[in-house]
Amino acid sequence: MKLTLKVWRQKNGKTPGEFKTYQADHVSPDMSFLEMLDVVNQDLILKGEEPIAFDHDCREGICGMCSLMINGVAHGPKQATTTCQLHMRSFNDGDTVTIEPWRAMPFPIIKDLVVDRSSFDRIIQAGGFISASTGSAPDANTIQVPKPDADKAMDAAACIGCGACVAACPNGSAMLFTAAKAAHLSFLPQGQAERHQRAVNMVMQQDLEGFGNCTNIGECSAVCPKEISMDTIARLNRDLIVATLKGLEPTVEPAAAKAS
Amino acid sequence: MSDTKNETTTRTGVRAVEFVKSLDAKAPGGPIEQRWDKHRFEMKLVNPANRRRYTVIVVGSGLAGGAAAATLGEQGYNVKCFCYQDSPRRAHSIAAQGGINAAKNYRNDGDSIFRLFYDTVKGGDFRARESNVYRLAQVSVNIIDQCVAQGVPFAREYGGYLDNRSFGGAQVSRTFYARGQTGQQLLLGAYQALSRQIAAGTVKMFPRTEMLDLVLVDGRARGIITRDMVTGKIERHVADAVVLATGGYGNVFYLSTNAKGCNTTAIWRAHRRGAFFGNPCFTQIHPTCIPVTGDHQSKLTLMSESLRNDGRIWVPRKKGDTRDPRQIPENERDYYLEERYPAFGNLVPRDVASRNAKQVCDEGRGVGPGGLGVYLDFADAIKRLGKQKIAERYGNLFDMYQQITGENPYEVPMRIYPAIHYTMGGLWVDYNLMSTIPGLFVAGEANFSDHGANRLGASALMQGLADGYFVLPYTVANFLAQVKPGGLSTDHAAFGEAEAEINDRVKRLLSINGKRTVDSFHRELGRILWDECGMARNDAGLRRALQRIPELREEFWQNVRVPGEGGELNQELEKAGRVADFLELGELLCIDALHRTESCGGHFREESQTEDGEAKRDDENFSYVAAWEYTGNLARPELHKEPLVFEYVKPSQRSYK
Ligand SMILES: Cc1cc2nc3c(=O)[nH]c(=O)nc-3n(C[C@H](O)[C@H](O)[C@H](O)COP(=O)(O)OP(=O)(O)OC[C@H]3O[C@@H](n4cnc5c(N)ncnc54)[C@H](O)[C@@H]3O)c2cc1C
Ligand code: SF4
Ligand code: FES
């Protein structure tokens, strides 16, 4: 099939970008979306043009490196699917497809479709862990974890840190990402000791990075390739209330945000 | 290292220089159960107050690198950690699905450290070092404890205790798992521990930074040269020790189950600087991957091996039979594994299943596009157990298959084909995981490792974490305790020279401006290796490859086109550097495969098979690790041998009939 692509091209963070139009003439329905871009890029290179830069690595929906707003939807039209797992049979011959990077202030554009998501790493560094140094652990079966709790922890832990939730949110909020990590750890007995402090610290960093507030719109969960539930956000909010009642203040130095 | 040389020429014409006592594995003696404890006690320690003064570079943030960097940081060393992705959380360990082994014996089903050790040595077809494997089995139990403490959400039973399953044909249930995302959850555990150290200031993280060379001063590894993948800046980093945990080199075949960025550059550059390369031809092929659909194919997707528990593998008896598989009557189907291996049937080990698939496809009986596929049929299982049960067991996998192929496996048989999946070979290391370059340690899939000629399922995650959490923190410390910290700046001439070489190389790649893309060279290299050095290898084919690869490399340097500039994000330039190194490694792979005229594990030499076509080892001549030294001439590396001695597990012939 043949497609018309409107792709966001931008040399770097300092230069303004624009849409450019390309024809993709030999698209097979068996190709993945990224393979379709590969083929377009091979042509561009041979024509002496610069290929389109986009992030990707595992190409099996787990590393969280790929991104792309496809026709205005984060990760494209298929639910619970990352861009790398989207296949061209989801499109029709003659379609025009618009491809843009994630757009959010805390995700500055590096080049074309590649953005800087290091703000997510800094949120985790602020508290998204259990402080258990190597060697300090008791036997793994010492503490039982009820299966339903383990399952809920796993549901939340499935987040791949792709940033689609932020890109989809009209406020540019990172709450689903932050809440997923908080919920993963707070469902487990091992995560209780730091539970409320963790919530305060992560949210402090999240706000500092310039992510917007959550107003419960739900676009995040709708595009999330791992179907992280909005319930995690409610849970994080409850932890924050308890933290306030306990009078907890952030205990870590805020890490400098790149975007600001 | 001894300098007694025995210059010989092997039957295959590969020049071999044997340093008779050359490779000292430094494996301690004594009863095997006590070796690691004794060694740990004998190793030197660094005073906690002094640790900050030592800098350790860790290249890689996967299970091995992430765990090592976090733990060394916790201990108070000054750590610099590097990865090429935009975040350390995305290392390719994230993609592991099945699980991680540990000799916990929570099932009380007869498992033990000794049994895990035994299974690993045997599974590796007697080409691994016993001392290392025993230690791996020992620390496997600590790994699970550590991961649970970090919050890894392993699967649980209703009583709240950890669940286990049997994996890859093991007779005991020793595999721990977190749904189909075990690698992801273990990596996030290590990533979170690493993040905590980054916040604490003990680890400085350099994402989107690629190591392009290793710097030696006075014969010791003292630093690396990197390229900032965003700004293109070439940078120097100095350290007291360097750890490479950069993963496997399966992408030398172009199509593999590895992530697109997986590369050999870090270990290959270290090899060129003097680190010996161990058993490069030991590569693993996984039998259940989704077949190639066309020239656009960029990677292959693994389907969990567990599918073989209920699916039946078959091809049509007739060549070139293109009927709808559902129209092919029973008596015209060849359930070749069930027929040839009545005892194990569809559950034969990975290498056996893969080779048989290739054989039936070579006979012209393969199915699907290009005839490169075999059926994995669930019709009988659905009849027997109901669709519901099958969906419960494999629902995710069936969905994934349908997403990729557009076919519904509940209705039509799946099509599968083998793909490159893992590399047992890697830089040679001693018992301390130190390479032949003092101060250069290698961990995880990047070293030649504990898996011999074939890795068992769920053992790579175990090895990566064992190396990172429990081995390197001791052995690196032992090394540091014997050297003075610092005392070297990046102004040293060795850094200048290495940087100049890298700058030249980047400039050269950008200026060729030829007619072929990097990918087209990579694809062609992959094709050569897959055809001549893939599932089955023979003398003539390997010689053809050894002819072709240098020609292709030559053409690459004349005719590749790398657009753009060096001083910016340039993904084609990144790929070009990696492919240039693959083009060199590919040759070594074939040289190693040619010299090893026996079959063992994943290395199948057609000349060396039993009467029923099974792999036949030659212990008399090949019971050693082949460690290759770079000589400046890619066609003439020097072979060193580390003899393998089996004191506890006596070599026997594998049989699955
Ligand atoms: C699809 C799939 C499924 C698997 N399933 C299982 C399983 O169920 N059980 C099991 O035990 N094993 C499994 N394996 C194998 C296992 O996942 C890997 O062997 C293991 O995770 C490798 O870990 P590592 O830390 O050595 O390397 P990796 O996780 O690959 O990490 C390599 C690191 O090095 C960095 N790096 C690489 N090159 C450079 C460079 N030049 N400069 C800077 N940084 C660099 C990368 O950025 C990355 O951080 C599977 C493998 C695949 C591909
Ligand atoms: S919550 Fe979902 S959308 Fe957001 S980063 Fe995680 S996986 Fe991506
Ligand atoms: S490339 Fe890894 S999730 Fe898409």
Task: Kindly list the structural domains of chain B, giving each domain's residue range(s) and its CATH number in brackets, ordered by start.
Answer: 288-418 (3.90.700.10), 493-624+634-642 (1.20.58.100)
Give contacts of B159 with chain A, Cβ < 8 Å: 144
pLDDT of residue A260: 41
CA atoms B43, B49, B54, B55: torsion sign: positive
Q: Do B70 and A134 touch (CB under 8 A)?
A: yes
Top CATH class of A3-104 equals alpha beta
Residue B236: φ, ψ to 5°: -110, 140
pLDDT of residue B3: 42
Residue B505: φ, ψ to 5°: -65, -45
SS3 category, A74: strand
CB B264 within 8 A of CB B522: no
Average pLDDT in the B207-211 region? Answer: 98
The answer to whether residue B16 scores a pLDDT higher than 50 is: no
Q: Ligand 3 centre from B45 Cα, in Å?
A: 42
Dihedral (Cα; B251, B252, B255, B259), 10-degree rounding:
10
List residues near ligand 2 (CB under 6 A): A 159-165, 176-177, 180, 224-226, 228
Q: How, if at all, do strands B560-561 and B516-517 pair?
A: parallel
Q: Is B28 exposed, middle or buried (0-12, 13-18, 19+ CB in 10 A)?
A: middle
Q: How, if at all, do strands B78-82 and B203-206 pair?
A: parallel
Average pLDDT in the B203-209 region? Answer: 98
Task: pLDDT band for A258, please (50, 70, 90 cuts).
Answer: low
The answer to whether residue B646 scores a pLDDT higher than 90 is: yes
Task: Read off the pLDDT of residues A70-126 as tens digits, 9 standing for 90 and up.
Answer: 999 999 999 999 999 999 999 999 999 999 999 999 999 999 999 999 999 999 999
CB A107 within 8 A of CB A115: yes
Q: Say how many residues make up chain B.
A: 657
Report the C-alpha gap between A223 and A234 in whole angstroms: 18
- Which tokens is B452 given? 């011999």
Chain B contact present for A134, CB below 8 A:
yes
The ipTM estimated for the assembled molecules is 0.98
In B513-608, alpha helices (H):
518-533, 539-559, 571-595
Q: Ligand 2 centre from A180 Cα, in Å?
A: 8
pLDDT of residue B343: 87
Question: Angle at the Cα of B12 (from B6 to B15), degrees rounded to 5?
Answer: 35
pLDDT of residue B8: 47
Q: Ligand 1 centre from A113 Cα, in Å?
A: 25
Average pLDDT in the B206-214 region? Answer: 98
- CB crowding B591-627: b at 16 or more within 10 Å, else e: bbbbbbbbbbbbbbbeebeeeeebbbbeeeebbbbbb
Average pLDDT in the B293-315 region? Answer: 92
Number of other CB atoms surrounding residue B378 within 10 Å: 25
Mutate to test the pocket of ligand 2, among A58, A162, A206, A219 (most ligand atoms within 8 A of CB): A162
Report the C-alpha gap between B444 and B425 in whole angstroms: 11
Chain B contact present for A195, CB below 8 A:
no
CA of B85 to nearest chain A CA: how many angstroms apart?
A: 8
Of B649, B367, B606, B420, nearest to B530 by C-alpha is B420
Q: Ligand 1 centre from B91 Cα, in Å?
A: 6
Residues 6+ apart with CB under 8 A from B495: B215, B223, B225, B236, B238
Number of other CB atoms surrounding residue A203 within 10 Å: 25
Identify any residues that bridge with B524 across adjacent strands, giving them in sequence order: none
Report the C-alpha gap between B302 and B176 in whole angstroms: 19
SS3 category, A162: coil
- Nearest residue, CB atoms, A117 vs list B87, B154, B406: B87
Q: Do B195 and A131 touch (CB under 8 A)?
A: no
Q: Which residues 526-585 in chain B show a CB within 8 A of chain A?
A: 561, 563-564, 568-569, 571-572
**Coarse DSSP helix, strand, coil percentages of chain B, rounded to the nearest 5 percent:** 40, 20, 40
Task: pLDDT band for B24, please (50, 70, 90 cuts).
Answer: confident
The answer to whether residue A232 scores a pLDDT higher than 90 is: yes
The answer to whether residue B112 scores a pLDDT higher than 50 is: yes
Q: Which residues 281-340 in chain B show a CB within 8 A of chain A?
A: 293-294, 296-299, 301-302
Q: Do A49 and B563 touch (CB under 8 A)?
A: yes
Q: Do A134 and B90 touch (CB under 8 A)?
A: no
pLDDT of residue B11: 45
Report the C-alpha gap between B528 and B506 in whole angstroms: 26
Q: Do A150 and B519 touch (CB under 8 A)?
A: no
CA atoms B591, B595, B597, B601: torsion sign: negative
- Nearest residue, CB atoms, A118 vs list B178, B207, B469: B207
- Nearest residue, CB atoms, B146 vs list A65, A137, A158: A137
Of B216, B235, B225, nearest to B275 by C-alpha is B216
CB B60 within 8 A of CB B244: yes
CB B345 within 8 A of CB B337: yes
The CATH homologous superfamily of the domain defined by A117-245? Alpha-helical ferredoxin (1.10.1060.10)
Report the C-alpha gap between B410 and B277 in whole angstroms: 46
pLDDT of residue B22: 65
Residues 6+ apart with CB under 8 A from B633: none
CA of B176 to nearest chain A CA: how many angstroms apart?
A: 11
Task: Read off the pLDDT of residues B115-168 as tens digits, 9 standing for 90 and up.
Answer: 999 999 999 999 999 999 999 999 999 999 999 999 999 999 999 999 998 887
Percent pLDDT > 70 in chain B is 97
Label each residue of B551-571 as H, E or C.
HHHHHHHHHEECCCCCCCCCH
pTM: 0.97
CB B584 within 8 A of CB B634: yes
Identify any residues that bridge with B8 across adjacent strands, giving them in sequence order: B16
Report which protein residue has its CA nearest ligand 1's atom 6.
B96
SS3 category, B219: coil
Average pLDDT in the B493-517 region? Answer: 98
Average pLDDT in the A160-186 region? Answer: 98
Report the C-alpha gap between B126 and B179 in whole angstroms: 32
CA of B374 to nearest chain A CA: how many angstroms apart?
A: 18
Q: Is B648 exposed, middle or buried (0-12, 13-18, 19+ CB in 10 A)?
A: middle
CB B640 within 8 A of CB B629: yes
Looking at every residue in chain B, the average pLDDT score rounds to 94
pLDDT of residue B347: 87
Q: Do B195 and A136 touch (CB under 8 A)?
A: no
Q: Which helix (H) or strand (E) segment is B207 a member of?
A: none
Q: Ligand 2 centre from B201 Cα, in Å?
A: 27
CA atoms B157, B139, B191, A73: torsion sign: negative
- Which tokens is B467 given? 């190396």
Chain B contact present for A198, CB below 8 A:
no
pLDDT of residue B400: 87
Residue, of B656 and B221, whose pLDDT is higher: B221
Extract the runs of DSSP E, i.e. beta strands, from B26-99: 55-59, 78-82
Residue B86's Cα: distance from chain center in Å?
22
Q: How, if at all, do strands A18-24 and A3-9 pair?
A: antiparallel
Span of A227-231, B304-308, B369-373 with lowest mean pLDDT = B304-308
Task: Read off the pLDDT of residues B570-594 as tens digits, 9 standing for 90 and up.
Answer: 999 999 999 999 999 999 999 999 9
Report whether residue A56 contacts ligand 3, using a CB cutoff of 6 Å: yes
Q: What residue ranges of chain A are covered by domains with CATH 3.10.20.30? A: 3-104
Task: pLDDT band for B1, please (50, 70, 90 cuts).
Answer: very low
pLDDT of residue B20: 39
Span of B24-28, B182-186, B429-433, B473-477 with lowest mean pLDDT = B24-28
Average pLDDT in the B623-630 region? Answer: 97
Q: What residue ranges of chain A are covered by domains with CATH 1.10.1060.10? A: 117-245
SS3 category, B120: helix
Task: pLDDT band for B244, please (50, 70, 90 cuts).
Answer: very high
In B75-218, alpha helices (H):
113-123, 130-150, 182-200
Q: Ligand 3 centre from B94 Cα, in Å?
A: 10
Q: Which helix (H) or strand (E) segment is B361 a member of?
A: helix B350-362
Name the residue of chain B whose CA is nearest to A136's CA. Answer: B146
CA of A34 to nearest chain B CA: how many angstroms apart?
A: 9
Residue, of A34 and B171, whose pLDDT is higher: A34
Average pLDDT in the B627-631 region? Answer: 97
Task: pLDDT band for B98, please (50, 70, 90 cuts).
Answer: confident
Task: Read off the pLDDT of residues B331-371 as tens digits, 9 standing for 90 and up.
Answer: 999 999 999 999 889 988 888 899 999 999 999 999 998 89
- Nearest residue, CB atoms, B260 vs list A45, A59, A143: A59
**Residue in the structure block whose two tokens are 């691994």:** B128
**Residue A254 per-residue DSSP state:** P
Give contacts of A134 with chain B, Cβ < 8 Å: 67, 70-71, 74, 146, 193, 469-470, 473
Report the C-alpha gap between B83 and B12 in whole angstroms: 39
Name the residue of chain A whose CA is nearest to B88's CA. Answer: A121
Expressed in angstroms, the distance from the first to the final Cα of chain A is 44
Label each residue of B266-326 as H, E or C.
HHHHHHHCCCCEECCCCEEEEEEECCCCCCCCCCCCECCHHHHHCCEEEEECCCCCCCCHH
CA of A186 to nearest chain B CA: how many angstroms apart?
A: 9
CB A161 within 8 A of CB B87: yes
Report the C-alpha gap between B398 and B409 in whole angstroms: 6
Report the C-alpha gap between A63 and A162 in whole angstroms: 8
Size of interface A-B (CB pairs under 8 A): 224
Residues 6+ apart with CB under 8 A from A254: A126, A204, A205, A208
Q: Ligand 3 centre from B259 Cα, in Å?
A: 9
Provide DSSP, A171-206.
T---HHHHHHHHHHHHTSGGGSTTHHHHHHHHHHHH
The answer to whether residue A219 scores a pLDDT higher than 90 is: yes
CB B255 within 8 A of CB B419: yes
CA of A3 to nearest chain B CA: how many angstroms apart?
A: 16
